[in-house]
Chain A
């Protein structure tokens, strides 16, 4: 398998549930990103991991918890979410220093009920 793979594709969860989003890249990249895409809003950068270390956390609420166990995998752990957290969550990867842009996954459509 190549590129960036995100699972699940769709997720419906209650406000008291705990779930995780998974992202896997097979490109040998050394940086990974989580973005939130809401209707009629710009893409919001949530977290950046470079060489498996978190280098950016853009004031994201603590109910979102990222994890990067190695350079190929990135998780977003979710708990006690709010309905306004419903959105498309996109994962991306890149090779730092080469400026060829990101490679994106197809996203997880999250609905919080």
Chain B
């Protein structure tokens, strides 16, 4: 079974500063994918960033980057130059690769507040 743990129910950051959201996971697979999703008040879950487990290089998307530590099974999200629009619930998720269909396992989420 796969599990995803987000140990920070809530975080806050000042506008323009940097914040890191934590995520740890457990899987018996060697090949898998990790994701961070953002859910603003509009409710739609939006994919922020994706990491392939076989790639050692950390994924980056503009102000969003990850610190992927495969041995430690850790996948944290760093948001640089935080903006008011970054305020949302952030979910870490995991899926195994391959197969005819796949499931995403989600963490409980971290509510991020951005203070002006």
Residues of A within 8 A of B (CB): 31, 40-43, 45, 48, 50-51, 55-56, 88, 90, 92, 94, 96-97, 99-107, 109
Is there contact, CB below 8 Å, between B44 and A45? no
CA distance A90 to B45 in the complex (A): 9
CA distance A102 to B106 in the complex (A): 12
Report the count of interface residues on B (CB-CB < 8 A).
26
Residue of A45, A56, A101, A106 touching B47 (CB-CB under 8 A)? A101
Residues in B whose Cβ lies below 8 Å from that of A41: 108
Is there contact, CB below 8 Å, between B100 and A106? no
Is there contact, CB below 8 Å, between A56 and B103? yes
The stretch among B18-26, B66-74, B76-84, B90-98 that forms the contact with chain A is B90-98
Q: A101-B50, A106-B42, A107-B44 are in contact. List 5 more A-B contacts (CB 8 A).
A: A42-B106, A94-B102, A96-B100, A97-B98, A99-B52
SS class, residues of chain B in contact with chain A: loop
CA distance A42 to B46 in the complex (A): 17
Is there contact, CB below 8 Å, between A48 and B95? no
CA distance A51 to B103 in the complex (A): 15
Is there contact, CB below 8 Å, between B45 and A104? yes
B36 to chain A, nearest CB (A): 10
B100 to chain A, nearest CB (A): 6
Which of A48, A88, A102 has its CB near the most chain B CB atoms (within 10 A)? A102
A15 to chain B, nearest CB (A): 24
Asked whether A96 and B44 contact (CB < 8 A) given A41-B108, A42-B108, A101-B93, the answer is no
B90 to chain A, nearest CB (A): 13
CA distance A48 to B46 in the complex (A): 20
Q: CB-nearest residue of chain B relative to A90?
A: B45
B70 to chain A, nearest CB (A): 16
A50 to chain B, nearest CB (A): 4
Is there contact, CB below 8 Å, between A102 and B44? no
Asked whether A43 and B106 contact (CB < 8 A) given A48-B101, A97-B100, A100-B50, the answer is yes
CA distance A106 to B43 in the complex (A): 5
Residue of B44, B91, B95, B106 touching A106 (CB-CB under 8 A)? B44
Residue of A97, A101, A103 touching B99 (CB-CB under 8 A)? A97
